[in-house]
């Protein structure tokens, strides 16, 4: 048996949106897949992998997962950041996939086996007004979701985060923020209007749906610390499962002030890449959920390290799972979610049906829970023929501005 790496490919396809996939093949023909999709900056990671990683991988032993992670992290000299950590993540996932396929076991078994029966996940619901939001919540409940993230357009504001402007009532909700074939769409932002409106939104939704469903909300980095403190305090009566990304996380110490004022659980971390980025947030217990991404935080090997570090401080996990995480990244997250002890919640923003033509997955959704399945490895296959029908097209995430034109966090 030869587990040496024979080929290293970087595949780009866009079934409804862009995905970057690493495919590693061993001398014996065992194939592993990894997700390297960095939404809106996809080709930076493609170049990193093709120009600077591929040659280093040929001839290496695919089973040396930890050593390869440490080699790629340390030998680059220039550390951290989303491009580097997404590239390393994709290689790492592909090597776990190969190891599982050789062992004939799903990756979660290699990570210590299942710690639970399934992975609790939350869906997105959004509306341009409260009636449309309630309708979206009902749809998600009918699909079986027990946990739902609520986003709504704020009256008087041109657009809000997570809300598809112009979506017709009753239309299946498929929010995809990255705009294809064009530059960033600019949206307005008014924190005063948002802070006054949000408690009313959750009061209405609790009134309509009762205490049962788990509700979440994403502030998407748009608030100052004192604004975030006010939002958390004002939402306390409505029992959020978590409030996500209340402030930009460049300054983790800012969360101290938020924490002094509210017991609403906080989740942060989708733009962070390494365990070191989480040190202050976790050690000072400034958050309740490390909400990180397997695709942008160094793959299964490193995200497991982040989650286990968080576990020492009674901080739980929250795996990032929007549509810009490919089905390969989604599967990798699910294997880890199932295996770790301090699991919290997995985001599940279902992919467009075209994605399933390129990526054949074995994960399943039932009664509000996901399961990665028991196929060997990650359980995802890539269809080259289908992918050829979906070429890359540039796409940009939106930008936000205040009423006077000042650039703001989107």
Residues engaged in binding Mg ion (CB under 5 A) = 218
Catalytic residue among 220, 296, 335, 351: 220
Structural contact between residues 398 and 389, judged by C-beta atoms closer than 8 angstroms: no
Cβ at position 243, least distance to Mg ion in Å: 11
Smallest distance, Mg ion to C-beta of residue 282, A: 18
Token pair for residue 13? 């396809």
Minimum separation from the CB atom of position 218 to Mg ion (A):
4
3-class SS at 55?
Answer: helix
Task: Identify whether 220 is a catalytic site residue.
Answer: yes
Instruction: For the CB of residue 272, give the shortest distance to Mg ion in the complex, in Å.
Output: 12
Reply yes or no on whether 363 is catalytic.
Answer: no
Q: How far is the CB of 321 from Mg ion (least distance, A)?
A: 10
Coil, helix or strand at residue 49: helix
CA separation for the pair 79, 204 (Å, rounded): 46
Considering the candidates 48, 73, 108, 161, report the single residue annotated as catalytic: 161
- Give residues with Cβ within 8 angstroms of 148, minimum separation 6: 122, 123, 124, 125, 137, 140, 141, 213, 214, 215, 216
Of residues 133 and 219, the one with the C-beta less far from Mg ion: 219
Contacts of 45 (CB under 8 A, 6+ apart): 20, 36, 37, 38, 83, 86, 87, 90
Beta strands in 264-355 (DSSP E): 266-268, 289-290, 316-319, 345-347
State how far the Cα of 10 lies from the Cα of 88, in Å rounded to an integer. Answer: 13
- Judged by beta carbon, residue 42 or residue 218, the one nearer Mg ion is 218
In the Cβ-directed half-sphere of 319, how many Cα atoms lie within 13 Å?
Answer: 31
Distances, alpha carbon 324 to alpha carbons 6, 86, 129, 328, 380, in Å? 29, 13, 26, 11, 16
109 or 179: CB nearest Mg ion: 179
| CB-nearer residue toward Mg ion: 54 or 254 | 254
Q: Which is nearer to Mg ion, 124 or 371 (CB)?
A: 124
How many residues does this entry show for the chain? Answer: 410
Closest approach, Cβ 21 to Mg ion, in A, equals 23
Tokens coding 154? 């704020």
* Listed residue (202, 270, 196) closest to 227, CA to CA: 196
Q: By C-beta, is 33 or 163 nearer to Mg ion?
A: 163
Q: Are 59 and 71 in contact (CB under 8 A)?
A: no
Query: How many CA atoms lie within 13 Å of 57's alpha carbon, on the beta-carbon side?
Result: 32
Name the residue number minimizing CB distance to Mg ion: 218
Cβ proximity to Mg ion: between 35 and 218 the closer is: 218
Closest approach of Cβ 177 to Mg ion, in Å?
A: 10
Q: Which residues are catalytic?
A: 161, 220
């Amino acid at each position: 048996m030869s587990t040496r790496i024979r080929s290293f490919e970087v595949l780009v396809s866009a079934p409804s949106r862009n995905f970057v996939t690493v495919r590693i093949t061993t001398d014996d023909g065992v194939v592993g897949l990894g997700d390297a999709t960095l939404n809106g900056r996809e080709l930076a990671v493609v170049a990193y992998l093709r120009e600077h990683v591929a040659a280093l991988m040929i001839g290496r032993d695919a089973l040396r997962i930890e050593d390869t992670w440490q080699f790629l992290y340390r030998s680059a000299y220039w550390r951290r950041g989303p491009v580097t950590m997404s590239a390393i993540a994709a290689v790492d996932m592909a090597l776990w996939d190969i190891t599982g396929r050789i062992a004939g076991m799903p990756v979660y078994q290699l990570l210590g086996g299942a710690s639970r029966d399934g992975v609790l996940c939350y869906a997105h619901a959004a509306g341009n007004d409260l009636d449309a939001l309630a309708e979206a919540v009902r749809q998600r409940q009918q699909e079986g979701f027990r946990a739902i993230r609520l986003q709504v357009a704020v009256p008087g504001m041109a657009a809000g985060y997570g809300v598809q402007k112009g979506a017709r009532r009753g239309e299946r909700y498929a929010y995809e923020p990255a705009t294809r074939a064009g530059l960033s769409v600019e949206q307005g932002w008014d924190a005063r209007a948002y802070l006054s409106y949000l408690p009313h939104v959750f009061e209405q939704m609790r009134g309509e749906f009762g205490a049962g469903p788990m509700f979440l909300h994403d502030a998407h980095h748009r608030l100052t610390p004192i604004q975030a403190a006010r939002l958390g305090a004002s939402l306390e009566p409505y029992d959020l499962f978590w409030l996500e990304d209340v402030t930009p996380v460049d300054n983790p110490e800012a969360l101290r002030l938020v924490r002094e004022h509210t017991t609403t659980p906080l989740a942060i971390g989708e733009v962070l890449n390494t365990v070191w980025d989480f040190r202050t947030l976790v050690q000072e217990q400034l958050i309740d959920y490390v909400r990180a991404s397997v695709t942008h935080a160094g793959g299964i090997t490193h995200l497991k390290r982040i989650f286990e570090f968080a576990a020492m401080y009674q901080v739980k996990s929250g795996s990032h799972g929007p549509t810009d995480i490919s089905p390969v990244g989604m599967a990798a997250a699910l294997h880890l979610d199932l295996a770790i002890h301090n699991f919290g919640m997995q985001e599940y923003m279902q992919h467009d049906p075209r994605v399933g033509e390129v990526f054949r997955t074995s994960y399943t959704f039932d009664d509000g829970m996901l399961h990665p399945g028991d196929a060997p490895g990650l359980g995802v296959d890539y269809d080259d023929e289908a992918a050829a029908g979906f070429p890359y097209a540039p796409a940009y995430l939106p930008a936000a501005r205040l009423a006077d034109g000042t650039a703001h966090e989107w």
